[in-house]
Amino acid sequence: MIKKIIAGLTLAALVVVPFISNTNTASAAVIDVGNGALNRSFIDGSSNFTVIDVNNPVSANGFLDTFTYFASNTNSFEFVLVDSSNVVKWVGPTITPSAGAGVKTWMPIIPIPASMSWNLGVHFNGTGTIPFDSTGASASFTANGSGLPIVGSTLTVGVASRTYSFGATGTDTLQGTLSAEDFGVVNYDTGLGFLKGYTAGFGLTDATLAGATSVVVKLYSGNTEGSLLQTNTAILSKFNADITGIQFSSPFDVSGTFNYATDGYWTNVRETEYGQSVPATRVVATVTLANGKVVTATNTNLTGSPTTIYPTPTPTPTPTPTPTPTPTPTPTPTALTDKEQCKNGGWMTFTNPSFRNQGQCVSYLMSNENAGRR
């Protein structure tokens, strides 16, 4: 659920000219430090020491992203940056040149911040790897066997005229601009459940998504943070494995059955109101690139009708009236007119009067008959 064509639906079909808000649209200027990577005359005989070339300090504040050097052998080393007072600002990872003398390039995963007037140097783990000429400005160097420098320490040095075959280039600003590309209502079967909601697409220029350290996309119903509906946070283990180009899209399910866990690219968090009764009007993506730059883009130009993705209302059932029970009529008591009515337990059926036994029932009847004869 992160490509520009999703389950057969081309998102380009949703695209209109969007409102786009993005960061860092200005072009970057090149900065540099050090010298050309040439095959020079000499190699250092000392080992486990540091040398700082001061011929060409960093030209402007910025970020160094490409280091170039001439390797005379495969001895390992580390690049070092110091300020104008020889305070160590950065020590790079160990580099072991590939076999064969010649020009080599090392590119850090994240560009290295550098300030104007800093100088570039090298710590050689063995004897010298990079050649020099014994001309130029007075290079600073530490004693033989002095070890790897520590960031924050001030190098205790000697000096000698040197021009080494290493240098670096970069830009005065980090590269990368994020733009909004599409924002639309969707309702279709993704193969991972119906996505009945929204999808939003974004694209990068001057950078790629390779190695991004954070990707967060937020869906809103208004212009304030309080109008947040849903948040998608990229699961980097899968996102970074598959998405190394310049585009991605993010799905927001409202009333469908889209399975985020199976999809595996996004952790979806919903607010109490997440779009089932109010329309989304804004989507914001924030990406932290591999170079450390944070880029953001906003799209407020929604295509499609949000009412088509609201859940179908459940009808309110009409209550069934409770029937009024018909009262059971009270039976009219049977009159005692014959002594046969007293037999076989019949005496127990009379209540006015009631009798204790059959004999009393018969006696009552006979006494009434005698009274009638008088």
What does the domain layout of the chain look like in residue ranges?
30-172, 177-308, 341-370
Average pLDDT (44-70) is 97
Q: Does domain 30-172 have CATH number 1.10.3470?
A: no
Average pLDDT (16-25) is 43
Between these two residues, 355 and 85, which has the higher pLDDT value? 85
Q: Residue 11: what pLDDT? A: 36
Average pLDDT, the chain: 89
Q: Residue 119: what pLDDT? A: 98
Q: How far apart are CA 216 and CA 286, in angstroms?
A: 5
Percentage of the residues of the chain whose pLDDT score is greater than 90 = 70
What lies within 8 Å, CB to CB, of 9 at 6+ separation is 186, 188
Average pLDDT (77-83) is 99
In this predicted model, what pLDDT tens digit does every residue of 301-335 receive, in sequence order?
A: 999 999 999 988 777 777 888 888 877 766 665 77
Residue 30 CB neighbours (<10 A): 11
Task: With a cut of 90, say whether residue 161 has pLDDT above it.
Answer: yes
Nearest Cα neighbor of 230 from 204, 189, 258 is 258
pLDDT tier at 26, thresholds 50, 70, 90: low
Q: Residue 182: what pLDDT? A: 97
Average pLDDT (2-27) is 41
Average pLDDT (362-370) is 80
Q: Residue 24: what pLDDT? A: 47
Q: Residue 371: what pLDDT? A: 64
Between these two residues, 353 and 75, which has the higher pLDDT value? 75
pLDDT tier at 372, thresholds 50, 70, 90: low
Task: With a cut of 60, say whether residue 141 has pLDDT above it.
Answer: yes
Vertex 278, ends 276 and 280: CA angle to 5°? 100
Least confident of 114-123, 173-182, 283-292, 334-343: 334-343
What pTM value is reported for the model?
0.59
pLDDT tier at 19, thresholds 50, 70, 90: very low
Task: With a cut of 60, say whether residue 289 has pLDDT above it.
Answer: yes
Average pLDDT (122-127) is 97
Between these two residues, 341 and 373, which has the higher pLDDT value? 341
Q: Residue 333: what pLDDT? A: 58
In this predicted model, what pLDDT tens digit does every residue of 225-277 receive, in sequence order?
A: 999 999 999 999 999 999 999 999 999 999 999 999 999 999 999 999 999 99
Q: Residue 336: what pLDDT? A: 78
Nearest Cα neighbor of 37 from 61, 71, 74, 86 is 71
